[in-house]
Structure 1
Amino acid sequence: MGNINPSLLHVGSTLGAVFMALMVIFIRLKASARPVTIRKIWIPPLGMSTGFAMFVVPEVRFPWWWAVAAFLVGWFIFAYPLMRSTKFEAREGLIYARRSKSFAFILLGLLLIRTVLHEFINQYVSIPQSGGLFFILAFGMILHWRVFMYKRYIRMVPPHAHTPEPEADNII
């Protein structure tokens, strides 16, 4: 892995995770002022999916069952608090995410749990492998949360909003 000091890499990844959590809190608080759209629901997991490219590097790889376990922990355990804190409301014919007072605390709590788990797991796997495992855990969490949001959003959108209007320009 080159000449990078593992403890420096560990501190850097922890600080990076704290920074990302604070950015997510900030972005989510601002997002409640704008209407929710299907695009805004699906862009985060789609953008995050590019991170799977890290598994091209052999040092990041691990057994499939580890990946499945990490994904399932994210899907079933870590996503639950996010789903519980996500509420939508209809205003002026549009759907908005309702601000949750607990959301910032939930994200910080998840970060704390992730950090403690990271310390434990780093005793058994390399730093690149633990990074890959926690990426898959986070992806499972985000994907389940966004599937939940999408289902709730679709239930709130009026039926006529699901069918696109025909465009006159496309008539041949």
Structure 2
Amino acid sequence: MLANIPSQYFIIGSTVMAFLMGLFVMFVRIRSQKKPVNAKKILIPPIAMSSGGLMFIFEEFHVSPIQILEAVAVGVVFSTVLIATSKFEVRNTEIFMKRSKAFFFILAGLLILRVIMKVYLSDSFDVFELAGMFWILAFSMLWPWRLAMLFRYKKIEKTLITA
């Protein structure tokens, strides 16, 4: 059934979805800065995203080991930007994400870069294979970022407990 749909429709649809999801993440991030952070809030997004790995059950989404390595490498590089710009602050004995003026531009820049890469690579890869690679990229970007946030959070939390 999916084989009868031209691949450019998948590229356009997934690009639109990427932008909508990016806007959603930015909106959620702005709202979340008004509430204290906890370990659960830090870890839920990558755990929830892990269910997307079920796509690899289907043969169309299978990617080669070298493509996995490439996607992971790009994801880890992208995560370093997010790690560098994610900071915490203590307000009245509670831990909050610190507002970063650069965060919106960095997230938008990463999103635009991903879309450009997807459009460029869509001529070289099957659309489903590309979807798998970009899921791996996003997952490889999210986990290091969230783990770094968790370690920073725990370090600050420990100083609050001992104080």
Q: What TM-score do the two structures reach when normalised by structure 2?
A: 0.93
Give the Cα separation in 2 of the matches to 1:145 and 1:124. Answer: 29
1:79: which partner in 2? Answer: 79
* Amino acid in the other structure paired with 1:48: M
Contact 2:11/2:122, CA 8 A, preserved across alignment? no
In the TM superposition, what whole-angstrom CA distance separates every residue of 1:105-144 from its partner, at most 9, and x where no partner exists?
Answer: 1111001111111122212110001010010000010001
Q: Secondary structure at the match of 1:102?
A: helix
Greater fraction helix: 2
Give the Cα separation in 2 of the matches to 1:86 and 1:42. Answer: 15
* Amino acid in the other structure paired with 1:3: N
2:131: which partner in 1? Answer: 131
C-alpha root-mean-square deviation of aligned residues, in Å?
A: 1.5
User: Unmatched 5+ residue regions in structure 2?
Assistant: none
More relative contact order, 1 or 2 (CA 8 Å, 6+ apart) = 2
1:91: which partner in 2? Answer: 91
Q: Secondary structure at the match of 1:145?
A: helix
1:167: which partner in 2? Answer: none
Deviation at 1:161, TM superposition (A): 4.7
Specify whether residues 100 and 159 from structure 1 end up closer, same or farther in structure 2 by C-alpha distance, changes over 3 A only.
Answer: closer
1:117: which partner in 2? Answer: 117
Give the Cα separation in 2 of the matches to 1:157 and 1:88. Answer: 11
Deviation at 1:159, TM superposition (A): 5.5
Give the Cα separation in 2 of the matches to 1:147 and 1:109. Answer: 22
* Amino acid in the other structure paired with 1:123: D
User: Unmatched 5+ residue regions in structure 1?
Assistant: 163-172
Q: Which moved more, 1:57-66 or 1:21-30?
A: 57-66
Report which of the two structures shows the higher radius of gyration computed on alpha carbons.
Answer: 1
Give the Cα separation in 2 of the matches to 1:121 and 1:7. Answer: 12
1:150: which partner in 2? Answer: 150
Give the Cα separation in 1 of the matches to 2:161 and 2:62. Answer: 44
Q: Kindly tell me the number of residue pairs found equivalent between the two proteins.
A: 161
* Amino acid in the other structure paired with 1:84: A
Give the Cα separation in 2 of the matches to 1:45 and 1:59. Answer: 23
2:64: which partner in 1? Answer: 63
Give the Cα separation in 1 of the matches to 2:23 and 2:120. Answer: 23
Deviation at 1:94, TM superposition (A): 1.1
Give the Cα separation in 2 of the matches to 1:7 and 1:65. Answer: 25
Deviation at 1:87, TM superposition (A): 0.8
Q: Which moved more, 1:28-37 or 1:114-123?
A: 114-123
Q: Which moved more, 1:1-10 or 1:124-133?
A: 1-10
